Amino acid sequence: MTDTIKSLSALLAEGKVSSVELCQDSLERIQRLNPALNAFITVDADKTLRDAAAADARRAAGQAGPLTGVPIAHKDIFCAEGWLTTCGSKMLSNFVSPYDAHVIEQFKAAGMPCLGKTNMDEFAMGSSNETSFYGPVRNPWDTDRVPGGSSGGSAAAVAARLCPAATGTDTGGSIRQPAALTGITGLKPTYGVVSRYGMIAFASSLDQAGPMATTAEDCALLLNVMAGFDPRDSTSLEREKEDYARELTQPRNQPLAGLKIGLPREFFGAGLSGDTARAVEEAINQLKKLGAQTVAVGLPNSKLSVAAYYVLAPAEASSNLSRFDGVRYGYRTPEYRDLADMYEKTRAEGFGSEVKRRIMIGAYVLSHGYYDAYYLQAQKLRRLIAQDFVEAFQQCDVILGPTAPTTAFKLGEKTADPVEMYLSDIYTIAVNLAGLPGMSLPCGFDAQGLPIGLQLIGNYFAEARMLNAAHQYQLATDWHTRAPTL
Ligand code: GLN
């Protein structure tokens, strides 16, 4: 299946295909290709086909919305009623959610059948999808390589055309980095645009859900479904519903005339691989042909973003993950002497090593005597990093750079050195610290035929504008249409 959501929606509306047929196609492809990719943790054909039949019935009754019947896969971080919801962890390996996350509710209300739950790094901690309790996800462009993380299952599933779209979450780059490494389009919205209710928490001040699909236009349509105020998330923003596709203009001469693109000096220095730098340069030229102008901007504090993030995110994680204690739900060690022994063994056995590393770092930076030296300092850096963007956006409408410093790396290549792994997110993390929207879209291939991602960063709530820049680029190029042969 190589169709976009937009085209599937038209086929459904014209009655040329049914939702049941679309879901059957996807399920067959998943059955055939998932064993090699490990993109899905849970598939339940009966449930999916039930959703599909309901969508077809709704259409027959004249009550279909634009995306009714289009199937979607969900990252296993979203609680979905009646579905095993593991977050990639042994800790939740027996957890069948009794309720729906806000994001799941929204897709259900839109009538989009759930194709299954996708694999991910354990508790969304990782950049390669190798920390999952369910084993690594493989990149469909080269199965010896990682798809990126933590939304690597969703990315691999869309890239391999197992599903037309999937949900992801992005705390430090987990939608954009795997989108880049698998050659798809992924969007992290402004913090607070999509409710975190029912989305298993990693670092609450950074976590944000977003769409992953093949085109920017599809991401806009999906964000229309996902976004919206939800009183159950205290950081959900009370704003009018907006149409994220409203600025997507038809092909015309110089469609991006008047758009100012900021190029941060810090994003084009050493550390960027040659092929990536070249592809990003070519993308800039293409955008200029479409009428955009470029301006150099500075993000002088962005070099501190990885360091600040790896204090703040673990601090929040250590607090969020304290709830997994074996008492109310999830994994519990089979044998224990007393309550303290039960807690200890449950957490020792239930969490993987990356999660334990984060909990220990988090507890350390929050402890008496270290709080001021680490946590408070990192909070101050966060403010400076965000302020850089405020200043940059006085000179431009969107910021452009690479999404990731390299293309997909080999499985096992970075697992021995956590810091090297953390540096995979060097270009994405500052966006989360600032709470800004960002996206990745395909802009070429390296010498080995691996996809390269282009990152666009928008100002607060400027998703629609950023999406149109990406859409115009995709109307003029065909990188996003290329799929791996499987
Ligand atoms: N790779 C980063 C981390 O390991 C970001 C993960 C994410 O965005 N969920 O924390």
Q: Strand, helix or coil at 335?
A: coil
Q: What is the mean pLDDT of residues 431-457?
A: 98
Q: What is the mean pLDDT of residues 18-35?
A: 98
Average confidence score pLDDT of the chain: 97
Burial 275-295 (b: 16+ CB within 10 A, else e): bbbebbeebbebbeebebebe
Element (H, E) at 217: helix 216-226
Q: What's the pLDDT band for 1 if we cut at 50, 70, 90?
A: very low
Element (H, E) at 49: helix 45-60
pLDDT digits (tens, 9 = 90+) for 372-396: 999 999 999 999 999 999 999 999 9
pLDDT digits (tens, 9 = 90+) for 282-305: 999 999 999 999 999 999 999 999
pLDDT digits (tens, 9 = 90+) for 233-281: 999 999 999 999 999 987 788 999 999 999 999 999 877 889 999 999 9
Q: What is the mean pLDDT of residues 221-233?
A: 98
Q: What is the mean pLDDT of residues 202-223?
A: 98
Using CA atoms of 94, 99, 101, 102 in order, give the dihedral in degrees to the nearest 10: 180
Distance separating alpha carbons of residues 418 and 21, to the nearest angstrom: 44
Q: What is the pLDDT of residue 2?
A: 53
Q: What is the mean pLDDT of residues 346-371?
A: 97
> Which of 87, 120, 121, 196 to mutate to test ligand 1, by most ligand atoms within 8 A of the CB atom?
121
pLDDT digits (tens, 9 = 90+) for 116-143: 999 999 999 999 999 999 999 999 999 9
CA of 216 to the centre of ligand 1 (A): 22
| Joined tokens for residue 113 | 């059948």
In the chain the first and final C-alpha atoms are separated, in Å, by 12
Find all residues with CB under 8 Å of 288, minimum gap 6, and list them: 294
Distance separating alpha carbons of residues 25 and 209, to the nearest angstrom: 27
Q: Establish whether 75 is a catalytic residue.
A: yes
Q: Is 170 in the pocket of ligand 1 (CB under 6 A)?
A: yes
* Percent share of the chain, pLDDT over 90: 95
Q: Establish whether 234 is a catalytic residue.
A: no
Please tell me the pTM assigned to this model.
0.98
> Which of 121, 125, 129, 356 to mutate to test ligand 1, by most ligand atoms within 8 A of the CB atom?
125
Q: Has residue 461 got a pLDDT over 60?
A: yes
Q: What is the pLDDT of residue 252?
A: 80
Q: What is the mean pLDDT of residues 195-200?
A: 98
Q: Has residue 4 got a pLDDT over 90?
A: yes
Q: Has residue 93 got a pLDDT over 60?
A: yes
Distance separating alpha carbons of residues 428 and 422, to the nearest angstrom: 11
Q: What is the mean pLDDT of residues 347-369?
A: 97
Distance separating alpha carbons of residues 143 and 451, to the nearest angstrom: 14
Q: What's the pLDDT band for 367 if we cut at 50, 70, 90?
A: very high
CA of 383 to the centre of ligand 1 (A): 20
